[in-house]
Amino acid sequence: DKGKVIECKAAVAWEANKPLVTETIRVDPPKEGEVRLKVVANALCHTDVYTLSGQDPEGLFPCILGHEAGAIVESVGPGVTSVQPGMYVIPCYTPQCKDAACIFCQSPKTNLCPKIRATQGRGVMPDGTSRFSTLDGKPIYHFMGCSTFAEYTVVAEISCAVVSEKAPLDKVCLFGCGVSTGLGAVLKTCAVEEGASVAVFGLGAVGLAVVQAAKIRKARRIFAVDTNPKKFEMAVQLGATDCLNPNDIPDKPIQQVIVEATTWGVDYSFDATGNVEVMRAALECAHRGWGVSCVIGVAASGKLIQTRPFQLITGRSWKGTAFGGWKSRTDVPDLVDQYMDGKLPIDHYVTHSFEGVSAINDAIHALHEGDCLRAVVSY
Ligand code: NAD
Ligand code: AHE
Ligand code: ZN
* Domains of the chain and CATH, by start: 6-178+325-378 (3.90.180.10), 191-320 (3.40.50.720)
Strands 374-378, 34-43: parallel, antiparallel or unpaired by DSSP?
A: antiparallel
Q: pLDDT of the chain along its 379 residues, tens only? A: 789 999 999 999 999 999 999 999 999 999 999 999 999 999 999 999 999 999 999 999 999 999 999 999 999 999 999 999 999 999 999 999 999 999 999 999 999 999 999 999 999 999 999 999 999 999 999 999 999 999 999 999 999 999 999 999 999 999 999 999 999 999 999 999 999 999 999 999 999 999 999 999 999 999 999 999 999 999 999 999 999 999 999 999 999 999 999 999 999 999 999 999 999 999 999 999 999 999 999 999 999 999 999 999 999 999 999 999 999 999 999 999 999 999 999 999 999 999 999 999 999 999 999 999 999 999 9
Say what the pTM is. 0.98
Known catalytic residue at 67: yes
**376 Cα: distance to centroid of ligand 3 (angstroms):** 13
Q: Which ligand is nearest to the CA of 295?
A: 1
Known catalytic residue at 374: yes
Over residues 166-177, the pLDDT tens digits come to: 999 999 999 999
Q: What percent of the chain has pLDDT over 90?
A: 99
- Our answer on whether the CB atom of 255 is closer than 6 Å to any ligand 1 atom is no
Q: Where would I find the H helices in the chain?
A: 46-52, 103-106, 117-121, 169-172, 178-184, 205-216, 232-238, 254-262, 276-284, 310-313, 328-340, 360-369
Over residues 127-157, the pLDDT tens digits come to: 999 999 999 999 999 999 999 999 999 999 9
SS3 73: strand
Tell me how far apart the terminal alpha carbons of the chain are, to the nearest angstrom: 19
Count the residues in the chain: 379
Which residue among 93, 122, 148, 328 has the greatest number of ligand 2 atoms within 8 angstroms of its CB, and so is best to mutate? 93
- Spell out the long-range contacts of 102-109 with Cβ–Cβ below 8 A and sequence spacing 24 or more: 105/327
**298 Cα: distance to centroid of ligand 2 (angstroms):** 7
Known catalytic residue at 352: no
Dihedral of alpha carbons 21, 24, 29, 35, sign: positive
Nearest CA to ligand 2 atom 16: 322
Please tell me which residue in 36, 287, 316, 374 is annotated as part of the active site: 374
- The Cα 177–Cα 181 span in angstroms is 6
In this structure, what are the phi and psi dihedrals at residue 240, rounded to the nearest 5 degrees?
A: -65, 140
**119 Cα: distance to centroid of ligand 3 (angstroms):** 18
- The Cα 224–Cα 243 span in angstroms is 5
- 352: nearest Cα among 212, 174, 210: 174
Known catalytic residue at 287: no
